[in-house]
Chains A and B, each alone.
Chain A
Amino acid sequence: MINIQHISKKFGKFQVLKDINLNLNGGECIALIGPNGSGKTTLIKAILGMVVPSKGQILFNGHDIHNQWAYRNEIGYMPQIGQYPENMTIGQVFDLMKDIRKMPEDKLDYELYHSFGIPELLNKRMGTLSGGTRQKVSACLAFLFSPKALVLDEPTAGLDPLSTEILKEKIKKEIGKNKLIIISSHVLSDLDDMVSQIIYIQEGNLLFHKSLNQLKEDTGADKLSKAIAQIMSASQHKKEI
């Protein structure tokens, strides 16, 4: 579904992404893992067209996304830090988004919207919301239009345990519908029972793209968190030498 070909990105002199090649298909749930500042969010933003790559191209369903916009109808994006106009109420944000996507009311997916209790908050202004409530709004907006691809940047950061469980259940449900789900997260224990593939990025380089089972086999660890810890310490070790 998403085909990333030789993507490089420079911010000034700083090279954030170095020649990344990836092929991501529907029905997969992919974890995007890497240390802070390794380029995960930049890669995600490049897929959404928010960051324009310096080199290379990204194909969505076979079409180059450069200067395109209609393909974003198929993507639900949950940003790391939800940025919304301070003086808009939650209800207005939802109305605006529905207005933009123009999807018939009966096709909308209101499941998260109700389980997060958004209807009671509709008159609250975005500026007064806590970080967690903002995350909930972002999550609801990502799932609302039942898109074919879901891009979730640190979805569980800032959510309370109950909401985290609700979100995880929802993600698992969506995996069954042959959708492409990309999750970037540092909370590896959350990912263990959801993801099927792992992408590991370090300092802008793609270290590997493997299935979860393969990774566990290679490292001999039974948990994702242990496997990743092993890789991180190994690369740290290499650097010291």
Chain B
Amino acid sequence: MNKIIRYVFADLLKNRTIVIYTLLLFTLSISIFNMESSSEKGLVSLMNIILFVVPLVSIIFSSIYLYNSAEFINLLVSQPLQRQKIWCSLFIGLASAMCISFLLGVGIPTLLFEASLSGLTLIGSGLFLSIIFVSVAMLISVWIRDKSKGIGLAILLWLYFALLFDALVLFFLFQFSDYPIENAMVAISMLNPIDICRIFMLLQVDLSAMMGYTGAIFRDFFGTGTGMAITAIIMALWAIIPVALSIRYFKKKDL
């Protein structure tokens, strides 16, 4: 199993997209931290960009990479190797490459400018998002045989998580504004890992006051130890469930 991870990882490090992605993140972080008057503000601006860029690159790059590795996968499956090991190795290779890119591009500048708890939260959220969206890409590429359809679905899913979901939540909020839906809002936000990260970050940098009464509810939930533990578990589930489903499917797939 290790040698396949090593192979995938080495192949990814040589990949031009990964290098450009790392450089892009690095330039973005450095310039934002230099532009904003306080590094706390810089952190919030950086967060807004990261919540868009990291899921986008993770999901689309991973699905393209997986579709392009179809030959490699076919070659390995005819060899004396366990199928789930092949698939897990691909996942681990991809996820660690995305995480290392993120650590180099965002982790280092953040630690230099704002090595506080909020800075660490930002790094943690970025790493989680990288893994989650690689995991979703694994599921897409195993379910859909056709490359263009698969990449199309990856883009749609990203649009959904990054934009459409918020629009739907707003719609829901306005429709039910006469009812006490604050607690429901906490539950609904769990359906979108990007939102979890956003709320978590905003609470860390004390911007929750801007969110009104819902912000107070969020503070009550996310601020407590139990709330944090539940959030961490849900983020972990977001990372594990798609890849676990994809392994189950890959074991039975005809190649």
B252 touches A52 (CB 8 A): yes
Residue of B nearest to A93 (CB): B75
Say yes or no: A84 contacts B75, CB within 8 Å: yes
Are A69 and B83 neighbours in the complex by a CB distance under 8 Å? yes
Q: From residue B236, how far is it (CB to closest CB) to chain A in Å?
A: 27
Q: A51 contacts B80, CB within 8 Å? A: no
- Known contacts A51-B254, A67-B251: does B75 contact A72 (CB below 8 Å)? no
CA A99 – CA B79 in complex, angstroms? 11
| CB under 8 Å from chain B, chain A span 8-57 | 11, 45, 48-52
Residue in B3, B71, B78 whose beta carbon sits within 8 Å of that of A85 in the complex = B71
Q: With a CB–CB cut-off of 8 A, which chain B residues contact A11?
A: 254
| A73 CB-CB contact with B under 8 Å | yes
Q: Are A83 and B74 in contact (CB under 8 A)?
A: yes
B70 CB–A CB distance under 8 Å: yes
Rounded to whole Å, the gap between the CB of B214 and the closest CB of chain A is: 48
Query: Does B82 lie within 8 Å of A83, measured CB to CB?
Result: no
Q: How far is the CA of A11 from the CA of B69 in the complex (A)?
A: 23
Measured between beta carbons, the chain B residues less than 8 angstroms from A83 are 70-71, 74-75
Residues of chain B within 8 A (CB-CB) of A49 are 77
B75 touches A73 (CB 8 A): no
Cβ distance B184 to chain A, nearest Cβ, rounded Å: 42
Q: Is B213 an interface residue (CB 8 A)?
A: no
By a CB distance below 8 angstroms, the chain B residues around A67 are 251
Partner of B80, one of A50, A70, A79, A96: A70
A143 within 8 A of B: no
Complex: chain B residue closest to A97, CB-CB: B79
Q: Does A160 contact B (CB under 8 A)?
A: no
The reply to whether B255 and A50 form a contact with Cβ atoms under 8 Å apart is yes
Bound CA span A72–B85, Å: 15
Does A77 interact with chain B (Cβ within 8 Å)? yes
Task: Give the chain A neighbours of B7 by CB distance below 8 A.
Answer: 96
B72, B79, B255: residue with the most chain A Cβ atoms closer than 10 Å: B79
Contact between B69 and A100, CB atoms less than 8 A apart: no
Main secondary structure of the interface of B (DSSP, over half): helix
- Whether B81 is near chain A, meaning CB under 8 Å from some CB there, is yes
How many angstroms from the CA of A48 to the CA of B79 in the assembled complex? 9
Determine if B11 and A84 form an interchain contact, defined as CB atoms under 8 angstroms apart.
no
A177 at the interface (CB under 8 A from B): no
Residue of B whose beta carbon sits closest to that of A92: B7
Cβ-based interface call for A106 (8 A)? no
Q: Tell me how far the C-beta of A191 lies from the nearest C-beta in chain B, rounded to whole angstroms.
A: 23
Alpha-carbon gap, A99 to B255, bound state (A): 23
When distances are taken between beta carbons in the complex, the residues of chain A under 8 Å from B71 are: 83-86
In the bound complex, residues from chain B placing their C-beta under 8 Å from that of A237 are: none
Distance of A108 from chain B, by nearest CB (Å):
15
Q: In the assembly, what is the distance between CA of A72 and CA of B75, in Å?
A: 12
A45-B255, A50-B254 given; A69·B75 CB < 8 A: no
User: Which of B69, B70, B74 is in CB contact (< 8 Å) with A50?
Assistant: B74
- How long is the Cα–Cα vector from A86 to B69 in the complex, in angstroms? 9
- Is A213's CB within 8 Å of the partner chain B? no
Q: In the complex, A89 Cα to B80 Cα: how many Å?
A: 22
Nearest residue (CB) in B for A79 is: B78
Nearest to B14 among chain A residues (CB) is A87
Q: Which one of B74, B82, B253, B254 contacts A69 once the chains associate, using CB atoms below 8 Å?
A: B82
Contact code string B105-137 (vs A, CB < 8 Å = 1, else 0): 000000000000000000000000000000000
Complex Cα distance A45/B72, Å? 16
1/0 per residue A65-84: CB within 8 Å of B?
00101111100010100011
- Tell me which residues across on chain B come within 8 A of A100, comparing CB atoms: 3, 76, 79-81
Bound together, the chains give a CA A100 to CA B80 distance in angstroms of 7
Beyond A79-B74, A100-B79, 8 additional pairs, beta carbon < 8 A:
A67-B251, A70-B80, A72-B80, A83-B74, A84-B72, A85-B69, A97-B79, A99-B3
- For this complex, 20 residue pairs linking A to B, each with C-beta atoms less than 8 Å apart, are A11-B254, A45-B255, A48-B78, A49-B77, A50-B78, A51-B255, A52-B254, A67-B251, A69-B80, A69-B83, A70-B80, A72-B80, A73-B80, A79-B74, A83-B74, A84-B71, A85-B69, A85-B72, A100-B79, A101-B80
